[in-house]
Chains A and B, each alone.
Chain A
Amino acid sequence: MKKRRLLSLMTAAAMAGSLAACGGGNQGGETTPAAAGGGETAATTATETVEAKEGQTVMRWSIWDKDLTAYYQPLIDEFEKQNPDLKIEMVDLGSSDYQTVLGTQLTGSGSDFDIVTIKDVPGYTTLVNKGVLEPLDEYIAKDNVDLAAFKGLTDQITVEDKLYELPFRSDFWVVYYNKDVFDAAGVDYPTNDMTFDQYDELARKLTVDVPGQEVYGAHYHTWRSAVQLFGILDGKNTILDGTYDFLKPYYEMVLAEQEDGICQDYATLKTSNLHYSGAFSQGNVGMMNMGTWFIATMIDKIKSGEYTDCANWGIVKYPHADGVEPGSTLATITALSIPASAPHKEDAWKFVKFVCGEEGAEIIAATGNIPALMSDGIADTISSKDGFPADDGSKEALQTANLYLEMPVSAKSSEIEIVLNEAHDNIMTGNTSIDEGIADMNEKVGAILGGGQ
């Protein structure tokens, strides 16, 4: 009797426990990763309620990192000044799983977003495939928007002759370097026209391997783009080719650097989840390749006194392969779209046109970010911003020759992304050899490209 009562009590307790666990584990498949991945995204949709006056239309705009991004509010302020009858309400979906959350929000017909920000190309293709975005071609034709100003970027994101997003930011990759590290080693600063061999040599010269006072000549973040995409810069291959043997020399270079302690060990970086800004700001990294989105962060954090060990910094163009014009680099675009379910499409288009147009570009550039619409005047605005490195090389580094998207548009891009990520991880941790990793990519991507579902 006693035992029985005890057992039933325990069962009741455990059932309550398992129900709670269900809520957090199984059922919550859509919420857990966001909560687990970032921590800061736990409070997923933080909405800034905007008071609408009589006759005003309120439009909802999905964004991430509201407090960390300097240009959202200036853009909205200027737009609302020009359009007194329109109000923009920002909805922060959190950065770590933004595209997944947005995809969930736009699923079904319950969403009331008028404008959505698209973070990356795989996310864009996913949403286009789902058919939840409005084609913008008619609006573009109606208002005579000149797409040539986007320097061919819009061609790369056209899906079956239709354009579903308009880019407002176009970040590209450069090499950040810490002048103090170069001075300490007595090495000349890098230049805008270095080859990969020169880059490797430079990194090796900077390295100090005294335990406790290590200086790393180079730093590669754990993203696949940081190493793998060196390979596509000669313009001969793309990352969707299905054969990846061209990646071998670059993996060999980076793995050798890792072996010799020129850069930090990938496995350690991965498990410690070290952010690239944390790595660079410690002041013991000579060069780090990263996107231009990091410029605004550097300027802000140095100004606020948070980064003290990398205050003396500069940027140069990406290294280039032999016989290729310097200035070829990777690009990633951030764009605006109008969901098919948007309640106020015409007004939303006004906002998209404003943000992606010249006025928007000026505002974005003034915060130290790179707008998609890039002209000499806008480049000057960025480089003349207080806190941007003063040397001519850094200014010149903002001029690019060829831009290759980190992930081109393809219906299979998110599946291919998984394969490439996994192979990158296996090669970098030493779980497989470079040849095995490449063979793995060839086989799996080949299967994805060859056989449709």
Chain B
Amino acid sequence: MGKKTIDPALVQSKLSVWEPRLAELQRQAEAETDPKKKLKLGKQVDRTRDKIRQIKTGERFSRQTKRDMVAYSFILPNFIGFAVFTLGPVIFAFVLAFLKWDGNSPMEFAGFGNFALMIGNTRFLASLRNTVIYCVATVPLTLAVALGLAVLLNQKIKGRNFFRTVSFFPYVASLVAVAAVWNMLFSPAKSGPINMVLYSLGVAAKSLPKWSADKDWVMFTVVLFSVWKNMGYYMVIYLAGLQGVNGELYEACALDGANTWQRFWYITLPQLRPTTFFVTIMLTINCFKVYDIVYMLAGGSVGVLNESAIVLVYHIYEEAFRNWNLGYASAVAMVLFLMVLAITLVQFRGEKKYAN
């Protein structure tokens, strides 16, 4: 760049264009009264100044461009990975949703055919129903349990750290292992530990639930397991939220004669609203993506989920990699995506309303 010769005549001719433009912009900026527009004009002035300086020095890039390039170069390594492994496949899945493809044969355009197929597919309808039931049951239950645990374990009680660890344990324990243990506890046999308890409480042997093998109880078992497994993670988030609540608020509240319940209701809960909002969104998204838990609890040795337990992500997997209907599977994935998107948007709206 240093060797580049600068032609003074060319510089002059360029400057004769840019300098009046700068003067004009400056004048406009002076005269402007609306602060927003003034700011915008100010930026334009800066850019033009930069441009003039660039013409004078003969550099290839302006200072701003250089700064931008440095910033982008920091983002680039991560972005390449994201683009190759996430963005690309996501876009491809969008396209696939409108095609008929088995991975090898030539693709055929299917239009909305894949979406039409869903309506008549009993397994899709069952998986949609189960996923919704699962979410509606799991999200509030997990929220309540996690908040309860967090409030309890935020107090100065003996063995607090021990109980915190115990509550967090299910989250880090291997799913395969704890699912096996869980299925043993909830064994469908009369001799299963939980059924034994129910039996001694007077439930007739014939009407003991078969838990994860029972079409009416399987979702209940799955929800119970999910709440137990995930409560620790959200408890930790709530604990972090509780640390951020200003102690003076409680003092003031106590001075006003509030009891424990009122302190919880009027101080803790509103102060935790951002946390609750965040936890709800994460939970909802994770619930819609549920797959492994159901598969482990109700899959049996063949790994096939029945209509009583099938969930959307399993349906996607089954159609894509067992039956090789990649187009149809992508269409189902789109439906799942749109559902999650819609719910998240609604939640964001609701949060804004509350905050104001």
Instruction: Establish whether residues B102 and A130, one from each chain, have CB atoms under 8 Å apart when the complex forms.
Output: yes
Instruction: Establish whether residues A271 and B211, one from each chain, have CB atoms under 8 Å apart when the complex forms.
Output: yes
Given A21-B289, A271-B183, residue A7 in contact with residue B296 (CB < 8 A): no
Among listed B39-47, B65-73, B150-158, B236-244, interface-contacting one: B236-244
Residues in B with CB closer than 8 Å to A26 are 289, 291, 313
Q: Is the C-beta of B356 less than 8 angstroms from some C-beta in chain A? A: no
Q: Is the C-beta of B247 less than 8 angstroms from some C-beta in chain A? A: no
Instruction: Establish whether residues B323 and A414, one from each chain, have CB atoms under 8 Å apart when the complex forms.
Output: yes
Chain A contact surface mostly:
helix
Residues in B with CB closer than 8 Å to A25 are 289, 291-292, 313
Residues in A with CB closer than 8 Å to B117 are 453
Instruction: Establish whether residues A267 and B295, one from each chain, have CB atoms under 8 Å apart when the complex forms.
Output: no
Instruction: Establish whether residues B240 and A10, one from each chain, have CB atoms under 8 Å apart when the complex forms.
Output: yes
Among listed A30-38, A85-93, A153-161, A385-393, interface-contacting one: A30-38
Cα separation A439 to B103 with both chains bound (whole Å):
35
Q: A413-432 CB contact bits vs B (8 Å, 1 = yes)? A: 01100100110011001110
**Chain B 267-294 residues near chain A, CB threshold 8 A:** 274-275, 278, 282, 285-286, 289, 291-292
Chain B contact surface mostly:
helix
Partner of A270, one of B244, B285, B300: B300
Instruction: Establish whether residues A100 and B300, one from each chain, have CB atoms under 8 Å apart when the complex forms.
Output: no
Instruction: Establish whether residues A36 and B289, one from each chain, have CB atoms under 8 Å apart when the complex forms.
Output: no
Number of interface residues of B (CB under 8 A): 61
Q: Tell me the minimal C-beta distance from A243 to chain B in angstroms.
A: 19
Instruction: Establish whether residues B321 and A426, one from each chain, have CB atoms under 8 Å apart when the complex forms.
Output: no
Task: Across the interface, name the chain A residue whose C-beta is closest to B174.
Answer: A39
Given A14-B278, A425-B300, residue A273 in contact with residue B180 (CB < 8 A): yes
Q: Is the C-beta of B164 less than 8 angstroms from some C-beta in chain A? A: no
Q: Tell me the minimal C-beta distance from B103 to chain A in angstroms.
A: 4
Task: Across the interface, name the chain A residue whose C-beta is closest to B293.
Answer: A36
Residues in B with CB closer than 8 Å to A107 are 103-104, 324
Q: Tell me the minimal C-beta distance from A38 to chain B in angstroms.
A: 9
- Which 6 A-B pairs give the minimum distances between C-beta atoms? A267-B213, A107-B103, A267-B188, A431-B215, A270-B300, A271-B183
* B→A interface (CB under 8 Å): 85-86, 89, 102-105, 117, 122-123, 175-176, 180, 183-184, 186-189, 192, 210-216, 237, 240-241, 244, 274-275, 278, 282, 285-286, 289, 291-292, 295-297, 299-304, 306-308, 313, 316-318, 320-324
Would you give 21 A-B contacts (Cβ < 8 Å), ordered by A?
A3-B244, A7-B278, A10-B275, A14-B237, A14-B278, A24-B292, A25-B292, A26-B289, A26-B313, A30-B320, A32-B317, A36-B175, A36-B176, A268-B192, A271-B297, A273-B180, A414-B322, A414-B323, A421-B304, A422-B306, A430-B210
